Amino acid sequence: MDTENTNITGKVVVITGASSGLGEATARYLAERGATVVLGARRADRIQALAGEITGKGGQAFALATDVTDAAQVQALVDAAVERFGRIDVIINNAGLMPLSPLAMRKLDDWDRTIDVNIKGVLYGIAAALPHMQRQQAGQIINVSSVAGHKVGPGGAVYSASKTAVRVITEGLRQEVKPWNIRTTIISPGAVATELPQSVTEPEIAAGVGQFYAAVAISADSFARAVAFAMSQPEDVDINEILFRPTRQDL
């Protein structure tokens, strides 16, 4: 067994936004390395198929339809993981969307959805996992921010605000959970090939984002490897933040 796997095998990992992109790639990657993955997303057919694929290869997986904007559904996902597998070692709060637009366009519905998924969804994941991890005196909470959580550009004010919030929340959490030996990690990807650009509702902006991603985006496995790196450290090592981009990305 290689060193990377030693602290991944046997861990129970809950992943939101697991029906595509970062979540899907990470579920496969961790399952191949012996983790038990519990998959949450709104598209039940997609996560059921992924769970079936993983178990068909001898892995451990379970899927439950989950809308992260509903705290009760997120709680149900985490509780199902604990009930089925006895514990939760890691939660990856990955579900997110990126409906970019200038503030002057006043796309209030997009703003609400961004806050509900990108901020509240992360908070609901923390709220669901924390009592179990406190009881276990162990666990790791991995929250997905973005390069946009480190810098903002025109059209990205609300999205960048949401991803900055993820970083702030996670840093506050890091300081609060020391008594229970819980680790916290922020992962901030740049352009990674996912369905995220499809959440842009403004056609002209969507076209530009699509062209940018087509030119520079890297595989979602890059994110999965970052997760595995943070997870696989000895329990006394807390990788708090990883920021990565495609080598070609200048933004």
The DSSP line for 108-150 is HHHHHHHIIIIIIHHHHHHHHHHHHHHHHT-EEEEEE--GGGT
Structure tokens at 160: 């960048």
| Residue 246: CB atoms within 10 Å | 18
Rg (CA), the chain: 17
User: Among candidates 73, 125, 76, which has minimal Cα distance to 96?
Assistant: 125
Q: 3-class DSSP state for residue 182? A: strand
For the chain, the average pLDDT equals 94
Q: Is the pLDDT of residue 2 over 90?
A: no
For residue 229, tell me if it sits in a domain.
Answer: yes
Q: DSSP string covering 10-58, please?
A: T-EEEEESTTSHHHHHHHHHHHHTT-EEEEEES-HHHHHHHHHHHHHTT
Of the ranges 81-95, 184-198, 236-250, which one carries the lowest mean pLDDT score? Answer: 184-198
β-partners of residue 60 are 36
Q: 3-class DSSP state for residue 185? A: strand
Q: Is the pLDDT of residue 1 over 70?
A: no
The model's confidence at residue 206, banded by pLDDT at 50, 70 and 90, is confident
Give me the active site residues, please. Answer: 159
The model's confidence at residue 5, banded by pLDDT at 50, 70 and 90, is low
Per-residue pLDDT of 12-25, as tens digits, reads: 999 999 999 999 99
Structure tokens at 250: 């200048």
For residue 198, tell me if it sits in a domain.
Answer: yes
Q: Is the pLDDT of residue 4 over 60?
A: no
The model's confidence at residue 3, banded by pLDDT at 50, 70 and 90, is very low
pLDDT of residue 197: 74
Q: What's the structural domain count of the chain?
A: 1
How many percent of the chain have pLDDT more than 90? 87
Query: From its phi and psi, is residue 84 left (phi > 0), alpha (psi between -120 and 50) or beta?
Result: alpha
Per-residue pLDDT of 105-119, as tens digits, reads: 999 999 999 999 999
For residue 250, tell me if it sits in a domain.
Answer: no
For residue 51, tell me if it sits in a domain.
Answer: yes
Phi/psi for 135 (5° steps) reads -65, -40
Q: Which range of residues forms the domain containing residue 51?
A: 3-242
For residue 248, tell me if it sits in a domain.
Answer: no
Regarding pTM above 0.85, the answer is yes
For residue 194, tell me if it sits in a domain.
Answer: yes
pLDDT of residue 22: 95
pLDDT of residue 195: 74
Q: Is the pLDDT of residue 193 over 90?
A: no
For residue 251, tell me if it sits in a domain.
Answer: no
Query: What CATH number does residue 152 fall under?
Result: 3.40.50.720
For residue 155, tell me if it sits in a domain.
Answer: yes
Span 145-159, average pLDDT: 96
Of the ranges 56-65, 71-80, 198-207, which one carries the lowest mean pLDDT score? Answer: 198-207
Q: Is the pLDDT of residue 150 over 90?
A: yes
Neighbour-count burial of 103, counting CB atoms closer than 10 A to its CB (0-12 exposed, 13-18 middle, 19+ buried): exposed
